[in-house]
Structure 1
Amino acid sequence: MEKRMLIKKTIEEFSAVLASDAPAPGGGSVAALSGALGADLIVMVCALSIGKEGLEDYRDQLSASATRARSLSGSLLQRVDLDTRAFNGVMAAFRLPKATDDEKKARSEAIQKGYQEAIQSPLGIARECVETLQLAESLLGRSNTNALSDLGVSAQQAYAGLEGAIMNVNINLPSIKDAGFIVETKAETASLLAAGKAAANAVNAYVAGKLG
């Protein structure tokens, strides 16, 4: 991985690294970035709504939503790099020596640990994308109508991040040997996807209905 944090790169630099033949950053980092952008749009929508005539009753909610969305964005941006590091941990485990039985056992355990950590990374992204989607839904009818398309794009970005994160969970699950871990993870991803889809559909339906 590049020595400089991915989130410290310019958009052009990040794009170039992403388009290279390096296996990371990849879809997980992009999912995190997508979720962060969705959260950023919520902050913007709240900023454009606070103090707006007719929205005085929602000032506290808008302020709280902006604060939470800003926190989610910061966390998701950190996950852009964390996801790449988690994947690199798996690759490092595969490079461990395997000449003796003890080395083979240690290597196998390290690989399993690496895969589980690689799964925890996109799971974290998925959880925060769902929260971002639910924040967007909570602002329907309570935010500046001139920023309605921005709220819609926020949900689109967060849902893309959610689905992308879950894809990154699912691609690593077959490498896990712990059956209990697999069952638990599949149950959580199903729950996250259902919650995220419900919020995304609500936002999309509302925005489409208002914009025609």
Structure 2
Amino acid sequence: MLDTRFLDALASAAPTPGGGGAAALMGATGAALVAMVCHLSLGKKGHEADEPELRRLLDEAEALRAKLQRMVAEDACAFERLMSAYRLPKATAEEQAYRGAAIQNGLRAATLAPLACARAAADAVRLARRAAALGHRQVISDVGVAALAAAAALRSAALNVQINVPALKDRAFADHALTEVAALVDECGGVAEAVHGRVKSMLA
């Protein structure tokens, strides 16, 4: 069942896919697990009153999974754009100016891609928190895995923001990106740990 093409590419000497794509895949995994928990909780005895919310959660989780899956390719495209900028000629002053602007545009795109992934991964953590309150007990461990996978995706995406911002000349944009990912990591790290703690207490 497992299609190893992405992992084979990840393990290769090619620069893409890389950590940004892996972060998006981890986030998509978290969202997919939330969807699975919803599917396996619908129709179960004791969850009749939760069905409307479970169906809403399922729809949100599936939409988020699709969004994060697209981000795997989007991250690679942003990185390749930046690498193309670095390869531009720089023999003349005009070429240097054009190359410098292209690099800055590439760095911005390479920052925006993981920043968007971090936001989406944070949403996946929040969905896992809702699933923890609604999911059937027999699949509650999957809720914990969803929360931890999404939190790992968020922290991983944050690293990919942090590696690009030092070279950005637009310091207002750079500082805003750093502040945003730090706030997301702080908020959702706590949420993921709370979900993990709740799951562990239910398994005891």
Normalised TM-score (structure 1): 0.93
- Larger deviation: 11-20 or 154-163? 11-20
Q: Which residue of 1 aligns with 2:45?
A: 53
In the TM superposition, residue 11 of structure 1 has moved relative to its aligned partner by 2.7
Q: Which residue of 2 aligns with 1:5?
A: none
Identity %: 40
Amino acid at match of 1:33: L
Counterpart pick for 1:21 among 2, 13, 33: 13
1:41 and 1:172 mapped to 2: Cα distance? 31
In the TM superposition, residue 211 of structure 1 has moved relative to its aligned partner by 1.0
Q: Which residue of 2 aligns with 1:181?
A: 173
- Larger deviation: 79-88 or 12-21? 12-21
2:109 and 2:199 mapped to 1: Cα distance? 37
In the TM superposition, residue 140 of structure 1 has moved relative to its aligned partner by 2.0
Unpaired segments ≥5 residues, structure 2: none
Counterpart pick for 2:112 among 110, 120, 144: 120
Q: Which residue of 2 aligns with 1:6?
A: none
Q: Which residue of 1 aligns with 2:156?
A: 164
Q: Which residue of 2 aligns with 1:78?
A: 70
- Larger deviation: 151-160 or 137-146? 137-146
2:3 and 2:155 mapped to 1: Cα distance? 23
Q: Which residue of 1 aligns with 2:96?
A: 104
Amino acid at match of 2:104: Q
Amino acid at match of 2:148: Q
1:210 is aligned to 2:175: no
In the TM superposition, residue 104 of structure 1 has moved relative to its aligned partner by 0.6
Amino acid at match of 1:69: A
Q: Which residue of 2 aligns with 1:3?
A: none
Contact 2:78–2:106 at 8 Å: present in 1 too?
Answer: yes
1:74 and 1:30 mapped to 2: Cα distance? 15
Secondary structure class of the residue paired with 1:22: coil
Counterpart pick for 2:83 among 91, 97, 113: 91
In the TM superposition, residue 181 of structure 1 has moved relative to its aligned partner by 1.1
In the TM superposition, residue 67 of structure 1 has moved relative to its aligned partner by 0.3
Amino acid at match of 1:167: L
Normalised TM-score (structure 2): 0.96
Q: Which runs of 4+ in 1 moved over 6 A?
A: none
In the TM superposition, residue 199 of structure 1 has moved relative to its aligned partner by 1.5
Amino acid at match of 2:72: V
In the TM superposition, residue 82 of structure 1 has moved relative to its aligned partner by 0.7
In the TM superposition, residue 58 of structure 1 has moved relative to its aligned partner by 1.2
